[in-house]
Amino acid sequence: MSLKGIFTAIAKVRRDVFTEVARFAYEDSPNYNTLEEIPYKIVPGEIASHRESIFLERAIVGERIRLAMGLPLRRISEHAPIPAGIDEKSLTNTIYKPPFVNIIKFACNSCPDNVYKTTDICRGCLARPCVEVCPKKAVSMVNGKSFIDQDLCIKCGRCKAVCPYDAIAKLERPCARACGMDAITSDKYGRAEIDYDKCVSCGVCISSCPFGAIADKSQIFQLINEIKSGSRVIAEIAPAFAGQFGPKVTPEKLKAALLELGFFDVVEVAIGADLCTIEEAEDYMKNVPEKLDFMATSCCPSWSVMAKKLFPEFADNISMAMTPMVFTARFIKQRYKDSKVVFIGPCVSKKLEATRKTVKSHVDYVLTFEEVMGMFEAKNIVLEEMEPADNMSFGTGAGRGFAVSAYCRCSFQFAGQQYRAAAAAAEKAFPNREIPIDQADGLKECRNMLMLAKAGKRNGYLLEGMACPGGCVAGTGTIQPVNKSTATVNNYKKKAEKQVANESKYAEMLSKLDESWFDEWELEVE
């Protein structure tokens, strides 16, 4: 179960850290020694509020500060002040590199993993089905209550399945349960540990940890210094932005607020989503089934990396189309020479994507909505009160719909936006062609979908995978609850002048995106 969209004490600490790091970066001549004061500001007083020691709470905040400044996580055995070993020159030039998702070991509660235990709900019933079905005689009655001998238990779960009172609980590490890659295990002390050979940086574990032990790196400090240096920094904002900063914050007010932060311009990533949709639809029509049994989309980095890691035989089946982030970044780089591009979105895995050789020359920084909110708060910008800027919308309804998955985890049903967008584009270009579609929500479901493809049960299909259950609106870096964000994005989608990707005013530019032409072409931005 994800804690995303619930403003917990963990969410407050995260946002306080982003705000204070941004505030520090905005200082004219920041004194790095003052970083030591931030944990005392975030965790004031003498008595701990959430953990056994206020010193522990502040130490955890200290590590979060380092990660928020793009610095590597320190080993638990290291003893040094927060700013130890860093200076402005080295920090601003720090190479942003994995791992982006990190476990703060001394914040981990060493949650039990895959353990069955009898709770106080047990009524010591006469039937005692838990005792009867256990194949290893691990369950017995002690003082009139069911008791499970952990040394004998093989964790088959039969006792839990037959208990008439649901008195037997299965205890799982929340982060491990949420991980679709089985990348989280335990170290010798029982603390969570990430196998980075398996990890795809989806960030779902961050939203699932109830102890706030998992955090991601940020580029807030480096970005603010880039803006302060006078660079032309352009923000490209993902379609999931609708409603993220409050119900009264229109796209035009959000653009005005971003300009107030020092961005030179703001471009909606929906324009790149449209082009990605068109290209993937065309690729599907050309290659399936003549060359490929099926084709999978590539817009979600964690999904595509997962597919290539676990199903290397399907590497050619993953679309080679650039993601919406990259399409839009290339447009911006051409329009604004010598500019810096910042992707603002809901996703931690975009930080991983931006480190790829083919991407890092186009996308200079990646920030989440949550991190940008810290920048707004550091500058005391009240978004609701901003005077609206001019329209930044260039995308169609299909492009805006990239933010949501096919099946929403809320009370109402809606047609899938992202994967159906590709189908709609293909159907418009090839009207007599049927396109079977399958979609998976969350990496575990994605793996199951590819298992079906491996078994030959998805031949001819267009497959869409989303790492975050609910789609991009459920990304780790989002602010609002998934159901609320989904509804807002769907409403924003309906307001687009055009609804099908092929109708994008920039559709004709797709054929011109080769390297030889790239330096000559100029994007028309109205």
Q: Is the pLDDT of residue 19 over 90?
A: yes
Alpha helices, DSSP H, located in 118-219: 129-133, 158-162, 174-178, 204-208
Domains identified in the chain, total number: 3
pLDDT in tens, 302-323: 999 999 999 999 999 998 888 9
Q: Per-residue pLDDT for 75 more than 50?
A: yes
Residue 515 lies in a domain: no
Is 437 found in the same domain as 351? yes
Q: 191 and 286: one domain? A: no
Closest CA to 42 of 28, 26, 59, 30: 59
How confident is the model over 25-73, as pLDDT tens digits? 999 988 888 999 999 999 999 998 888 899 999 999 999 999 999 888 8
Q: Kindly report the average pLDDT of the chain as a whole number.
A: 87
Same domain, 102 and 125: no
- The dihedral region occupied by 470, where left means phi > 0, alpha psi between -120 and 50, and beta the remainder, is left
Q: Which residues contact 98 (CB under 8 A, 6 or more apart)?
A: 196, 201, 352, 355
Residue 143 predicted with pLDDT over 50: yes
Position 525 in a domain: no
Domain membership of residue 524 (yes or no) is: no
pLDDT at 88 over 70: no
153 or 286, which is more confident:
153
Out of 130-134, 357-361, 484-488, which region has the weakest mean confidence (pLDDT)?
357-361
Radius of gyration of the CA atoms of the chain, in A:
25
pTM: 0.88
Residue type, position 515, single letter: E
> Is 186's pLDDT higher than 90?
yes
* Judgement on whether residues 218 and 242 belong to the same structural domain of the protein: no
Is the model's pLDDT at 516 over the cut of 60?
A: no
DSSP classification of residue 439:
E
Average the pLDDT over 242-262 and give the result: 95
Is 311 within the bounds of a domain? yes
CATH, residue 73: 3.30.70.20
How confident is the model at residue 521, as a pLDDT? 34
Same domain? For 412 and 488 the reply is: yes
Same domain, 20 and 74: yes
Percent of the chain with pLDDT over 90: 60
Same domain, 128 and 211: no
Position 420 in a domain = yes
CA dist., res. 30 & res. 225, Å (int): 11
Q: Are residues 383 and 437 in the same domain?
A: yes
**Considering the domain boundaries, does residue 523 fall inside one?**
no
Mean pLDDT of 126-136: 96
- What pLDDT sits at residue 401? 85
Instruction: Return the residue matching tokens 């010193």.
Output: 55
At residue 343, does pLDDT exceed 90?
yes
Q: Over the stretch 365-374, which tens digit does the pLDDT of each residue have? A: 999 999 999 9
* Residue 75 and residue 131 in one domain: no
Residues 495-513: pLDDT tens digits? Answer: 888 888 888 887 777 766 5
Average pLDDT rounded to a whole number, residues 321-344: 90
Omega prior to 99 cis, within 30 of 0: yes
pLDDT at 408 over 70: no
Residue appearing with tokens 């080679």: 320
Q: Note whether 119 and 163 are same-domain residues.
A: yes
Q: Give the residue numbers spanning the domain of 252.
A: 231-507
